[in-house]
A and B are shown apart, each in its own frame.
Chain A
């Protein structure tokens, strides 16, 4: 039993900390900013109105987050939407969007990086900042807290902020809506003491047993002997308590700002001709290529701004189909775009920026097959980039097929792995996007009917008999009789 107790007690280095007064200037101090309304704010809802968002919990739609004014009407998280609407008829309920929440939290983390070099997103809906090292810079804890709160509120999020030497304790305090500041590890236990035991992340069985023993608050737990606690309630409880008291070192992942590039060049005089100011763009492209090479990255798009005197800047954007780090290719595309679009005024300065930066993926090619040049795939992507830059974003289509019996839906504009569907009767090479009403007249039918009856489960059911026909001009047609709409005949395709 003694061995168990030794194994579960904090590591020797931590135990030294508890006896020797820790060096306050070096021990980390964790600020937790918790966003209780993150799910609502990420959906751009007005938090002053009665709004809520719902999520699937155990297969049933339940309210996930509820705004304050809805809570005043009696609505609570975990309610069924119908029950909530009965209580508060004006309540607007939206579906939760976890992706938008993550993006919102990352946006908040980028703001928080202005206050501390160490920002962690490890805990849900929270930012954890290590602030001991930056206290002097911001002039004390309260000023730092105020500035951070103002900065986070600029993008319509309302944080709850608590500060303590243990990240777990900070998170716990904010989740209980306690905006406490504890700077000293010694004071932490007494600050956490009055908190209810139910706030710990324990399973219901242990909580129930603790409750029956008469333990209500954390102080009650701290008074009990460690080895006895470990024996009765398992190691999990002790680990939680140690984390709360800051006696167990926790490793939190740091959030890093995604890389971004921005550089500009000013012209000595206003330049009008493209060949005069283009060398500056080439220089910027070269700088950007070096930036990417240092980070072993590629870019998926760049944006070029040409600044004029007393006029809004001209903006050119390029999107690449595959990650690129060839400045020659960018310059070629930019030159062509510039040539085709006349500038409204002479150019004073140029700036190049990009925030679409992706890791570099080396090209794979076969070791033995030397029929293709190794860089031909890159060249092909470059040609497609040229077409896309001139013809527009949606000009390139890669037709594919989809598993659907309805002819209109059997095709897609995305490449698919699915190829031919064996056993399918002959299909036409040209398909009319909108079937043409037709009078059968002089069309002779060459094939037996192919019945297509499908789509009853979604909004577009169809019941059609398809035939192959031939008209007087010798065209081979794909016609159908709509069995739903008065047996009307339509032309749907041509066998080119």
Chain B
């Protein structure tokens, strides 16, 4: 068996982990809108079937601006963006300024914490929702696993801003963000399909 055939065989099996060499992705991605960030993300963009966890010290440092280009891209493809129990009021004129089509924007109020993962799962599975954002207090590993499966089924991106970091996690991507002098300091803690750890500063 020559090397080429072996390579092909390995590529055909999505379950085989290929370490740092991850040029071929089994999942679709959407461009993040920042060339520098796209280069460090496996597949060249946000995974469109997975959970993205963003650890942010507080609101207002650019945790949403990071996703605005992707949100705009999603509404242009006529898919919905759902905000589940946002901690503050999302301001529609600002979203419209960022090029997001407000006709595909949904905000869901959840009185009970338990309704958040349920609503997320329903929306992710529907297939019409391209991105769902949530600010849960804490999610267990099996809840994140369920969300991961739902996101894969509906090929959607679930974005979580957890208050506390949970265990090992089944998330596709984990980021930590901090304010910096020149923009937003972003640190990739975990990325499915790649061992690369990257730290970069995005001008926002």
Contacts and interface: CB of A to CB of B under 8 A. Distances in A.
Interface of A: 372, 376, 379-380, 383-384, 386-387, 390-392, 394-401, 407, 410-412, 415-416, 419-421, 424, 426-433, 473-477, 493-496
A391 B127 CA distance: 21
Contacts of B65: 429, 495-496
Contacts of B119: 387, 391
Interface string B98-132: 01011101111111000100110011001110000
Contacts of B80: 380
A430 B58 contact: no
B60 interface: yes
A458 B90 CA distance: 26
Given A391-B109, A424-B97, A399 B90 contact: yes
B88 interface: yes
A400 B62 contact: no
Contacts of A401: 92-93, 96, 102
A416 B110 CA distance: 24
A166 B103 CA distance: 55
Interface in B141-179: 178-179
A265 B3 CA distance: 71
Contact of A494 (B59, B111, B115): B59
A410 B93 contact: yes
Contact of A396 (B62, B95, B97, B106): B106
B129 to A, nearest CB: 8
B89 A433 contact: yes
Contacts of A494: 59-60, 88
26 contacts: A372-B78, A380-B126, A383-B122, A383-B126, A391-B111, A395-B109, A395-B110, A397-B108, A398-B102, A399-B102, A400-B92, A401-B102, A407-B91, A411-B92, A420-B93, A421-B97, A424-B93, A426-B94, A430-B64, A430-B86, A430-B88, A474-B180, A475-B59, A475-B179, A476-B61, A476-B62
Nearest to B96: A420
Contacts of B96: 401, 419-421
Contacts of B93: 401, 407, 410-411, 420-421, 424, 427
A155 B179 CA distance: 68
A397 B60 CA distance: 22
A398 B80 CA distance: 11
B58 A473 contact: yes
A496 B59 contact: yes
A416 B92 CA distance: 10
A419 B102 contact: yes
Nearest to A493: B91
B127 A390 contact: no
A398 B99 CA distance: 17
A387 to B, nearest CB: 6
B63 interface: yes
Nearest to B127: A376
B28 interface: no
A374 B127 CA distance: 13
Contact of A496 (B60, B110, B118): B60
B122 A430 contact: no
Nearest to B185: A474
Contact of A429 (B94, B105, B108): B94
A464 to B, nearest CB: 16
B91 A430 contact: yes
B57 interface: yes
A392 to B, nearest CB: 7
B28 to A, nearest CB: 14
A379 B91 contact: no
Contacts of A416: 102
Nearest to A420: B96
A123 B62 CA distance: 64
A419 B94 contact: no
Nearest to B105: A399
A53 B108 CA distance: 43
Contacts of A476: 60-62
B126 A395 contact: no
Contacts of A419: 96, 101-102
Nearest to B126: A383
Contacts of A412: 92
Contact of A394 (B86, B95, B109): B109
Contact of B88 (A376, A399, A420, A431): A431
A392 B111 contact: yes
Contacts of A415: 102-103
A474 B115 contact: no
B126 A496 contact: no
Contacts of A496: 59-60, 62-65
Query: Which among B95, B102, B115 has the highest number of chain A CB atoms within 10 Å?
Result: B102
Given A401-B93, A416-B102, A395 B108 contact: yes
Query: Which among A398, A429, A473, A494 has the highest number of chain B CB atoms within 10 Å?
Result: A429
Nearest to B103: A415
B63 to A, nearest CB: 6
B61 A379 contact: no
A186 B174 CA distance: 93
B91 A429 contact: yes
A252 B179 CA distance: 74
A401 B103 CA distance: 11
A476 to B, nearest CB: 6
A379 to B, nearest CB: 7
A424 B91 CA distance: 14
A476 B128 CA distance: 33
A473 B61 CA distance: 8
Given A392-B111, A400-B102, 7 more contacts: A390-B118, A391-B119, A421-B96, A421-B97, A493-B91, A496-B59, A496-B62
B174 to A, nearest CB: 19
A419 B97 CA distance: 8
Contacts of A432: 88-89
A475 B109 contact: no
A4 B92 CA distance: 69
Given A400-B92, A428-B91, A431-B88, A475 B60 contact: yes
Nearest to B78: A372
Contacts of B122: 383, 386-387
A396 B115 CA distance: 13
